[in-house]
Amino acid sequence: DKVIEFLNEASRRTGDERGIDAIPEGSHIKDNEQALYELVKCNFDTDEALRRLRFNVKAAREELSVWTEEECRNFEQGLKAYGKDFHLIQANKVRTRSVGECVAFYYMWKKSERYDFFAQQTRFGKKKYNLHPGVTDYMDRLLDESESAASSRAPSPPPTTSNSSTSHSEREDST
């Protein structure tokens, strides 16, 4: 809790707090590597770390402006359609934002309740990001493969029975 309070205060003091508000709904703490590094260097003395941070702030990152609900929906549709190809997402779904803004939004969005809901609804998180890399859940893989195979197959005619032991293709080959 103290680290979260520190990050909130560091964001306020460096003018970097708008990134937290870029994603609607839920609470978000923007990760600030520089602030955390100062905190460690100051042996977790938050006052000293904040004082040093004020004088030692690197160039401010591009601030995220608040995304509209429509932009969020379009981004999620683009992610479903194009995966993490942010160039295609920007070009086809979120033309109001730059590719860089889409990338920054993606990493903020992944920490949100909205992402949790999206992943649950689409199985996006489960299919793409295994909690234990190198360990495969064969049942999930089997289900995913059978679902995609079933959806991509056109209905095939039922097999026909023949009294002859020679198949149709074998008869064609022998003629």
Query: 22 and 59 share a domain?
Result: yes
Q: What pLDDT is recorded for position 164?
A: 47
Is the pLDDT higher at 80 or at 154? 80
Give the end of a domain, one of 40, 63, 86.
Answer: 63
CB 61 within 8 A of CB 33: no
The DSSP secondary structure of 95-150, one letter per residue, reads TTS-HHHHHHHHHHHTTSHHHHHHHHHH-HHHHH--SSTT---HHHHHHHHHHHHH
Tell me if 171 is assigned to some domain: no
Tell me if 144 is assigned to some domain: no
Q: What pLDDT is recorded for position 38?
A: 83
Summarised one tens digit per residue, pLDDT across range 25-67 is: 455 556 677 788 888 888 989 888 888 877 765 544 444 578 9
CB 89 within 8 A of CB 45: no
Query: 53 and 77 share a domain?
Result: no
Tell me if 51 is assigned to some domain: yes
Distance between CA 175 and CA 58 in Å, rounded?
80
The structural domain count of the chain equals: 2
- Domain range for 3 is 1-63
Distance between CA 77 and CA 18 in Å, rounded?
25
Whole-prediction pTM value? 0.41
Tell me if 175 is assigned to some domain: no
Summarised one tens digit per residue, pLDDT across range 83-135 is: 999 999 999 999 999 888 899 899 999 998 999 889 888 876 555 444 545 44
